[in-house]
Amino acid sequence: MNPTKSLSPSQIRITAGFWKVKQNLVHDQVIPYQWKALNDEIPGAEPSHSVENFRIAAGKKQGEFAGLIFQDSDLGKWIEAAAYSLMNRSDPELEAKIDAAVELIAGAQEPDGYLQTYFSVKAKQQRWTDFAMGHEMYCGGHLMEGAVAYFEATGKRAFLDVMCRYADHLVKTFGHGPGQIVAYDGHPEIELALYKLYKVTANESYRTLSRFFVDERGKHPEVIDHDKIIAWPQKRTLWNGRDYYQDHLPVREQTVAVGHSVRAMYLYTAMADQMRLDSDATLAPALDALWHNVVERQMYVTGGLGSQSNGERFTINDDLPSDTAYTETCAAIGLVLWAWRMTLTDPDRRYADVLERSLYNGSLSGISLDGTRYFYVNPLEVVPQVAEYRQDMEHVKTSRVEWFGCSCCPPNIARTIASFAQYQYSTSEAGVWAHQFAQGTAKIPFRGTELILEQTTDYPWDGKITFAFSSVPASEPWSFALRIPSWCDNATLKVNGAEIALDKLEKGYAVINRVWKTGDSVALELPMAVKFLRSHPRVRETAGKVAVHRGPLLYCAEQTDNGADLHGLTLVSAESAKLEAAPGLGDGAQRLRLTALRTEAPATTEPYSTELPRSKSTEAVLVPYHLWGNRGKGEMLVWMGVAK
């Protein structure tokens, strides 16, 4: 391991370009919209009940708990998103809304520190009995992450103190001591949240408890007991056995990703935290095996995860259907979280490349251009009239919707966009790593000073990136390492105008070791050739087809540009691609125009014929996958035929 330290989003300011537009959208549109949704104020949208449940639990209103058992978590993620947004821009009105929400949460907390509105309002006597689907610690974990982010953004301790009391309750309740419970939550989340809480409090018991939850998982068949499920009764089936909860084996013996894909990602993220922050090398073999399995055998080209709707889960290796894919937005975000922890543990572009793929494609597709519509499911092929009729596609939405009864994804994508800056840099005594690219200013604590890096770029639309150095620590040499993405051929790198050879990368990073000075500059150019990607032949559904990407972005065809029957398009060559502005898809967005063939309908009306198909020349217009569905309902296709 070669661990590095992350920066807080508060230490990096995105100043222009792609991510500035996204973060402005989150602040100006998404956060206010989601606050209304959490308060059930969006006409026609499914109600959330999240804030209302806290009002009832806090004694501010009379009523019954409503909604799903884990609705508390949505408010936690919303506060986290809002806190990150406050790091980017001061907003007293938003801060006042958060403070009011914190007051409700504090009022809902029980005297012993317990906090979960479902059990406080509806099932007080059944606390800590349903570890399969109770989501008690899952909700607590998301509230905890929100509290840490809000403390880091404002310095206010009220919410942090609430969640410390909650964590103290967990410390007393769970463990191997007298009267304690040996158990863990069926939905991992508290584990990684406890590490965050430990980071800001230095309370060793929080880190110890996180290790306990990770280490005990898979060792106690009695913990995940379907006979004790309270709010979501279900029988054991092929799809929801112990593997669904990643509870089928101790974590160090798990080598194949199984079960609910979001639960898996959050567990692996916590395992990676434990490996890095506690120097626990015993987790390394399992994490490495799981990484290879997920990325090489079970990940979609979008960076999406989960190929089956039943159980929102992984199925078997190489089973990656396009039209019935589940690929939940939260699963892609979970992969971003895991990939980032792996990057911090050992900077290697194989992790940072996957983070980039999943972030720009499988995650961002979950939100509309205006920030008020969402996808829970992100398929790679949609034919509306088919998806809206077939039972096995009932999970597929043919256009984004205002909200969901189960709305884990909308606030999750909001917090991901608002906190993007944290994925750009990391540090160690040896130097500074640049992992992801966006225009902005980073103030990096390094060797006793605050190094300032100014990054200028129009990434991901353009691959030219420059770094300007100021407030550089004195005279001793140190390394500046830049990721050279695996999708890039013929990258060039210059320091103060002099070219640096890129023939000896270190795990995919160009490492420049020198005595740096204020005024130095580094120019990195990543040519963004349009390329055809082909899946491994063992993936049946996409054999013989290609997906198109340019730089970090995957592209798709939409009916809006190409007409119906997209399956009749055959691409001729990647070299024919022309880059042009994409009207109606936001400032700076670019689309591709490629030479293609379109299959013509045969003269016969018979469904089967020996007649050879005929094709005519045409052009295919492709748009970034994450932007599909913003111009009305219609077909969408990622994997297309290719001329031989």
Catalytic residues: 312, 408
Rounded Cα distance between 110 and 106, Å, is 9
Task: Answer yes or no: are the C-beta atoms of 253 and 286 closer than 8 Å.
Answer: yes
**Token digits of residue 181:** 């419970």
Pairing of strands 440-446, 449-457: antiparallel
Rounded Cα distance between 215 and 127, Å, is 23
374: phi then psi, degrees, rounded to nearest 5: -140, 150
Sign of CA dihedral 425, 339, 192, 38: positive
Helix (H, G, I), strand (E, B) or coil at 89: coil
Rounded Cα distance between 269 and 356, Å, is 16
Under the phi-then-psi rule, with left for phi > 0, alpha for psi from -120 to 50, and beta for the rest, what region is 351?
alpha
At a CB cut-off of 8 Å and minimum separation 6, what does 333 contact? 265, 358, 363, 412, 413, 416
**Token digits of residue 65:** 């708990």
Task: Answer yes or no: are the C-beta atoms of 326 and 309 closer than 8 Å.
Answer: yes
What type of residue is 140? G
Question: How many CB atoms lie under 10 A from the CB of residue 335?
Answer: 29
Helix (H, G, I), strand (E, B) or coil at 441: strand
Angle at 132 between CA 126 and CA 133, to 5 degrees: 75
Question: How many CB atoms lie under 10 A from the CB of residue 438?
Answer: 24
What type of residue is 133? M
Sign of CA dihedral 44, 50, 53, 55: negative
**Token digits of residue 523:** 């120019």
Rounded Cα distance between 305 and 318, Å, is 12
What type of residue is 525? E
Task: Answer yes or no: are the C-beta atoms of 351 and 339 closer than 8 Å.
Answer: yes
Residue by residue, DSSP assigns 564-591 as S-GGGEEE--GGG-EEEE-TTS-TT-EE
At a CB cut-off of 8 Å and minimum separation 6, what does 73 contact? 135, 138, 139, 141, 142, 143, 189, 408
Give strand pairing partners of 42: none
Rounded to whole angstroms, the maximal C-alpha distance in the chain is: 80
The CA-based dihedral angle spanning residues 30, 370, 13, 273, taken in that order and rounded to the nearest 10 degrees: 60
Rounded Cα distance between 401 and 395, Å, is 12
**Residue of 495, 436, 504 lying closest to 469 (CA atoms):** 495
**Residue of 256, 282, 257 lying closest to 271 (CA atoms):** 282
342: phi then psi, degrees, rounded to nearest 5: -70, -40
What type of residue is 142? H
Rounded Cα distance between 493 and 179, Å, is 61
Residue by residue, DSSP assigns 271-288 as HHHHHHHTT-GGGHHHHH
At a CB cut-off of 8 Å and minimum separation 6, what does 254 contact? 218, 246, 248, 286, 289, 290
